[in-house]
């Protein structure tokens, strides 16, 4: 029998990184202030009934004209400058090691409204089984010409179901939408942990929590009101500082959840074994 799998799903900006990924190299590279860039994005979206994710993708192309060449490789190069919270670089190895003690497999996923190509350039990109994020369509010269995928706060939830059912290819819709019995799903919600920082993560947090999974809100320094509000409103299970260092509250919390998942899987295995035995006895 294959090992139980635990899926840990992360937002990116303000969850694994202190800021928005565009602000580390792209915005300075086009000679613009971050506040001005985001003001223009919000204004563009508001005036044109436009999805905010499509607005920032459009503005990245528009504002870079004559200032910065954009290609898939250049986006990935920009990712090298993205800062990470304390402990993130060694986080994945520590979590995987802890889970391996219980004979559990861990899979890490990104579900972000940020840009996939920039995330692919970060030093932690190889830690993720899949990176679900906004993405451009590129021409033959690898220049972005059109949005291929825009991931907003509501569309994020589809990726929880993809992970749940094991339908990871974003072009596969039939398997995602057709009925799959709970006991046939690759990763049950009970084995899921969602980590995010803000209100745009609420649909995923609530969906995960409501189906028996575990949701964690993170906050920076003492700016914890949003995280505490989500905790009090029962949208998440935990509110912890965005510090992934060894022995941090984040590590203690996630390790405890993994311990709980191990216990759940053990008792569920015993239950199913008893059910099989009972059914066999009834047929004899």
Q: Is residue 45 part of a domain?
A: no
167 Cβ neighbours under 8 A, 6+ residues apart: 161, 175, 176
pLDDT for 12 beyond 80: yes
252 — pLDDT class (breaks 50, 70, 90): very high
pLDDT of amino acid 274: 83
Could you give the CA distance from residue 111 to residue 227 in angstroms, rounded to a whole number? Answer: 18
Q: Is residue 185 part of a domain?
A: yes
pLDDT for 283 beyond 80: no
pLDDT of amino acid 277: 82
Spacing of C-alpha 83 from chain mean position: 17
Q: Is residue 30 part of a domain?
A: no
Strand partners, 146: 137
pLDDT for 187 beyond 90: yes
Phi/psi of residue 132, each to 5°?
Answer: -100, 115
pLDDT for 146 beyond 60: yes
Task: Share the mean pLDDT of the chain.
Answer: 94
Q: Residues in the chain, how many?
A: 284
Q: Is residue 246 part of a domain?
A: yes
Mean per-residue pLDDT for 1-18? 93
Q: Give the residue numbers spanning the domain of 218.
A: 5-17+85-283
Q: At what angle do helices 157-165 and 202-210 cross, to 10 degrees?
A: 40
Could you give the CA distance from residue 234 to residue 163 in angstroms, rounded to a whole number? Answer: 23
Q: How many domains is the chain partitioned into structurally?
A: 1
pLDDT tens per residue, range 20-59: 999 999 999 999 999 999 999 999 999 999 999 999 999 9
Q: Is residue 163 part of a domain?
A: yes
pLDDT of amino acid 3: 86
CATH number at residue 181: 3.40.50.1000
Mean per-residue pLDDT for 125-140? 98
pLDDT tens per residue, range 52-98: 999 999 999 999 999 999 999 999 999 999 999 999 999 999 999 99
Short-list 115, 23, 46, 35, CA closest to 76: 115
Percentage of the residues of the chain whose pLDDT score is greater than 70 = 99
Phi/psi of residue 70, each to 5°?
Answer: -110, 125
pLDDT of amino acid 198: 86
Q: Is residue 213 part of a domain?
A: yes
Q: Is residue 54 part of a domain?
A: no
Q: Is residue 46 part of a domain?
A: no
Percentage of the residues of the chain whose pLDDT score is greater than 90 = 87
């Amino acid at each position: 029998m294959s090992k139980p799998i635990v899926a840990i799903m992360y937002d990116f900006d303000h969850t694994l990184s202190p800021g928005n990924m565009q602000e580390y190299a792209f915005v300075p590279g086009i000679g613009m202030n971050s506040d001005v860039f985001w003001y223009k994005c919000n204004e563009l979206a508001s005036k044109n009934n436009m999805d905010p994710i499509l607005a920032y993708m459009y503005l990245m192309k528009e504002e870079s004209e004559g200032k910065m060449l954009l290609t898939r490789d250049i986006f990935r190069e920009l990712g090298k400058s993205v800062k990470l919270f304390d402990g993130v670089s060694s986080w994945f190895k520590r979590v995987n090691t802890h889970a391996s003690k219980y004979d559990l497999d861990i899979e890490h996923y990104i579900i972000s409204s940020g840009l996939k190509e920039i995330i692919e350039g970060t030093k932690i990109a190889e830690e993720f089984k899949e990176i679900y994020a906004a993405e451009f369509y590129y021409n033959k010269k690898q220049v972005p010409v059109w949005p291929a995928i825009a991931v907003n706060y509501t569309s994020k939830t589809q990726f929880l179901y993809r992970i749940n059912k094991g339908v990871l290819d974003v072009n596969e819709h039939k398997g995602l939408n057709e009925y799959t019995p709970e006991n046939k799903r690759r990763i049950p919600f009970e084995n899921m942990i969602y980590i995010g920082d803000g209100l745009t993560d609420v649909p995923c947090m609530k969906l995960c929590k409501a189906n028996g999974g575990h949701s964690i809100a993170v906050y920076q320094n003492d700016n914890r009101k949003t995280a505490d509000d989500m905790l009090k409103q029962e949208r998440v299970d935990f509110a912890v500082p965005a510090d992934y260092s060894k022995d941090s509250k984040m590590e203690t919390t996630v390790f405890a959840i993994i311990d709980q998942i191990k216990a759940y899987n053990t008792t569920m295995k015993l239950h199913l074994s008893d059910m099989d035995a009972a059914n066999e006895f009834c047929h004899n």
